[in-house]
Amino acid sequence: MEGGGRPRAPCEECGEKNIRMVKPSDRKKLCRDCFTEGFEEHVHETILKKRMFEEKDKICIAVSGGKDSSVLAHVLVQIRRKHNYKWDLFLLAIDEGIKGYRDDSLKIVFKLQEKYHLPLKVLKFEDIFTYTMDAVVSFIGKKNNCTVCGVFRRQAMERGALLFNATKLVTGHNADDLAETILMNMCRGDLEKLAKGVEGAAAVEREEVAKEEVAKEEVAKEEVAKEEVAKEEAAEVATCCGGECARGEASTERGQRPPSGMDTRGARMEASPPTHGEPAPPEEEHPFFLPRLKPLMWCYEKEIVLYAFYKQLDYFSTECTYSPNSFRGNLRSFIKDLEMINPQFILNIIHSSEFFYHNSSRRKVLQVCASCGAYTSNPVCKACLIVEGLRNYKDNSFLYANKKKGEKGEKGQRRRIPIRYDGGAAAGVEGAKSDGSGKAGGGAEAPA
């Protein structure tokens, strides 16, 4: 009974306990236990559906002390215990060097280590890139600091995960975060980054499909090679005296060494050179590549807050000192307004981005950074360009150094963009003139 004397309605899931909350995503009325158990199972289903983890995976959890990463660490520990998975879990924190913010949030990270008894490493921007974020802001100001921080954080997380010899890196990005990133890149017209918010989440799924396709191609090539070898052997038997080649083939089948240049399957042993522009899968070519996954990608921010509340999890809730000036904050407010109309809008945005990615022909092939060895879509990674720009600081133009060639024409004008009208001939439309600062809409920001 509540204050007014009215009894609470029963939970729509179990029908036994009283309703304690309304689930933000589907408005379902649940008791506390049904909500928390359903939340954990929802994350588990995402992991299974996306094929994120394998048995005996070494999983590095990027933690900041905030609600998302604190909930992620707790849920993964619970899933591992409940389903008896043989995962090795590690904690990784990045210290950007923001006084009065990160040093306080790291106190929560150390509590996570003590609570779950997981190995922890803390990497500092200053140790990796020689600059703290406070120092970076003193150079470039507060307008583009989230761009630099996002670039540095991503590379620092990959480096830290490799210190654990991790096979997977997971972050606490939720559905709201992904929708914000997708809308941000859409507003900037950045097609290459439009689907990056879900790219990591589908990495393992794409890898499995790619492996199947490669296996099919190998089988087809092997069959063709066998047919060619059979034809060559038949020709040799026909031209040799006394059928010596036929007897040699029979001796090979009895276990003797096959003729030079042939393997036991009848295929040529000549090494095929790598195709230019089509490198081997990154995990086989270079140790720096690491799948970056998001188990909370379908979880709403409100659900994460409720889960942390019901489980009484400690987390740091203070906003970053520099984030109020970010473009992402405007889109965050827009997302909240959309959610009030229909929560499904957030998931629809993510699904649209997934569809765009799988049907996009503009994906770049990863290559190794010539400076630090990190994986990048350009000859030199963004982190190295930023560090070099800070060392030789003149202005903020180095923040846009990896823009595509031909993006701008002469006299600060953008290139002409062909547009078709109702099947007619393409017409050229002039882009907006540059404001003289050397930027084309700003750099992309990454969620903290």
59 and 164 belong to one structural domain: yes
d(C-alpha 106, C-alpha 231), whole Å = 69
Same domain (yes/no): 218, 261: yes
What's the Cα-to-Cα distance from 108 to each of 83, 99, 169, rounded to whole Å?
27, 16, 20
Angle at 383 between CA 389 and CA 407, to 5 degrees: 75
Q: 236 and 192 in one domain?
A: no
Question: What angle, rounded to 10 degrees, do the helices at 344-358 and 175-187 form?
Answer: 60
DSSP result, 230-247? HHHHHHHHHHSGGGHHHH
- Given this model, what pLDDT does residue 441 score? 39
93 in any annotated domain: yes
Together in a domain, 185 and 69: yes
Given this model, what pLDDT does residue 280 score?
Answer: 36
Let me know whether 211 and 195 are in one domain: no
Are 122 and 93 in contact, with CB atoms under 8 Å apart?
yes
Q: Which of 338, 358, 378 is the last residue of a domain?
A: 358
Which pLDDT value is given to residue 123? 97
- Number of domains the chain contains: 2
**Residue 234, number of CB atoms within 10 A of its CB:** 12
Q: What is the pTM of this model?
A: 0.70
Last-in-domain residue among 270, 299, 324: 270
Based on the domain organization, do 104 and 125 belong to the same domain?
yes
Instruction: Please report whether residue 161 resides in a domain.
Output: yes
Q: What is the DSSP track for 38-102? A: HHHHHHHHHHHHTT---TT-EEEEE--SSHHHHHHHHHHHHHHHHHT---EEEEEEEE---TTTH
Looking at the fold, whether 254 and 130 belong to one and the same domain comes out as: no
Residue 180, domain member (yes or no) = yes
Q: Are 98 and 194 within one domain?
A: yes
Q: What is the pLDDT of residue 97?
A: 94
427 in any annotated domain? no
Same structural domain, 115 and 233? no
| CATH classification at residue 156 | 3.40.50.620
* 76: in domain: yes
Q: What is the per-residue pLDDT for 47? A: 96
pLDDT for the residue numbered 362: 56
Residue 299 lies in a domain: yes
Sign of the alpha-carbon dihedral angle for 224, 228, 233, 234: positive
Which residues of the chain have a pLDDT value below 70?
1-7, 191-219, 229, 231-289, 325, 356-364, 401-448
Q: DSSP characters for 292-337?
A: EE-TTTT--HHHHHHHHHHTT-----PPPTTGGGSHHHHHHHHHHH
| 212 & 196 share domain | no
**Residue-range definition of the domain harbouring residue 211:** 207-270
Do 127 and 251 lie in one domain? The reply is no
pLDDT recorded at residue 366 = 76
Same domain? 93 vs 127: yes
Structure-token match 């995960």, residue found: 161
Handedness of CA 208, 209, 210, 214 (dihedral sign): positive
Which residues, 6+ apart, have CB-to-CB distance to 216 below 8 Å? none
